[in-house]
A and B are shown apart, each in its own frame.
Chain A
Amino acid sequence: MRIGREKVVLFATILLFWVLLNGTLALDSLLVGLLASFVITILYRDGFSPFTEFRATPAGFWAAGCFLLYFSKELVRSNLKLAAIVLSPSLPINPGIIKVRTTLKSRMGRLLLANSITLTPGTLTVQLEEEWLYIHWVTVEATDIDSATAQIVAGYETYLEVMYG
């Protein structure tokens, strides 16, 4: 029954995007959208969308808002940091691939975490292996799992924990 619910959520998400992109609720475009969304939903074995495992509670929405703000701040910070590295003549990098651990259980939570890490200061998720994330870091500041986790993962985890668990 769980799969059925996920498919409905996926169908609704695709249809929502279709309507937003078309900017109209005219019958003909709506019919085409319904058909296309239906076919895509059938073709996907497990329906999976950003809302799949989202906890639609007030606390969940609040955490989503905070997450977006925090993420935007980190995105700008990451760009300024990399810009400084690229522009400095000595190219002060110190790269390496380290390993961190997440406590998130849901698939969507982990996916968003990996994506967010990729867009934040000098880190790029290379491999997601169950609870372990392998991260390429332009300026490695900590090589052991615990302190690297505290530096890279903890900031996002507090919000994603509430949103997806």
Chain B
Amino acid sequence: MMPFTPTEMMTIAASRALSNDDVCFVGIGAPSAACNVARLTHAPDITLIYESGTIGTAPEVLPLSIGDGELCETAVTTVSVPEMFRYWLQGGRISVGFLGAAQLDRFGNINTTVIGPYDKPKVRLPGGGGAPEIATSCKEIFITMKQATRGMVETIDFFTSFGHGEGGDHRQRLGITTKGPTLLITDLALWRPDPQTKEFTVVSMHPGVTRENVQDTCGWKVRFADGVEETPAPTELELTTLRDLQARTQRAHGGKKGN
């Protein structure tokens, strides 16, 4: 087994959740790395969509922004942003929405808007972008983030995008027909919502991780499934694919600057 970091494990575990048939709406950062590792390993025909309008893109390096030129050059087609949100996302054509989070609660509700009160924020974060509608229009949602008590919190400061709300059938009560968050991939574990309460429950821990590690980096009382599994360690192919992708990305983005 090749040695690996927790972040590499997170990205690779996330990539395994995607299949060849998926049509995936990709967020920047960790989701983008995971989606492209999937494409470069077990899911070569996966359709990756970035909200800039690029459909079926296959970048050689990870984009720095959601609108890098290479996304367009390698895409099957590029549509306008209104068309992207109306026909493709709202139209129900996306199977998986892949989101990150600044703050997350146990029901998969996400905050990327403000820390502190909305009118007088302690930290003004970038905001929701496409996420409020991604969270309700994609057939299901995967969330990926590194565990930390300031990120995985009892109560989020703002409901940027809706997960399972208060849990249970809250989505159905609001008339939302999609599944919402079905998987949380962290640097320590895989979590799935409880079928009834919809609370995220640890179903698999990455190699070497203890229950204490998971609890110490999470702001709510963690529930563990009966029979928690161990996530298979990254294979050599997965690790070299991810590292090569990141090395290419580093070279491409670290380059020259204009005058």
- A and B associate in one complex: no
Chain B residues in the interface with A (C-beta under 8 A) = none
